[in-house]
Amino acid sequence: MAAPQFLVHSPKDNVGVIVIEGLMAGTDMLGVITETDTTTKAKSNHDIPIGHKVALVDLKKGDTVIKYGEDVGRIVADVKKGDHVHTHNMRTKRW
């Protein structure tokens, strides 16, 4: 298997984490779901830095972001599958 560009921890997750430097927009990405040791694919719509999130499905404003099988925040601007998910379109629910 080729080296993955993103990791997903749980099949419940709707975002993955980029694990390579220099991911460019338009990249056909391979992802690994670590809990099940299976693969998934997505196409990057943006350049996404290592450690940042990529949307695995379309998300609407108000949707919950699931990472590690857990609620990690909410979407504050609509996101398409393959989009960069970070502080410009996601917020914590703590405040």
* CATH classification of the domain holding 36: 2.30.130.110
For the segment 52-60, the average pLDDT, to the nearest whole number, is 98
**Residues 5-37 pLDDT 10s:** 999 999 999 999 999 999 999 999 999 999 999
| Total domains present in the chain | 1
Q: Are 48 and 36 in contact (CB under 8 A)?
A: no
Residue 70: domain span: 6-91
In a domain, 19, yes or no: yes
Count CA within 13 A, CB hemisphere, residue 73: 17
- Among residues 9, 2, 25, which one has the least CA distance to residue 80? 25
For the segment 76-80, the average pLDDT, to the nearest whole number, is 98
The pLDDT, as a whole number, for residue 86 is 96
pTM value is 0.94
pLDDT at 2 over 90: no
In a domain, 1, yes or no: no
- CA-based max dimension of the chain: 42
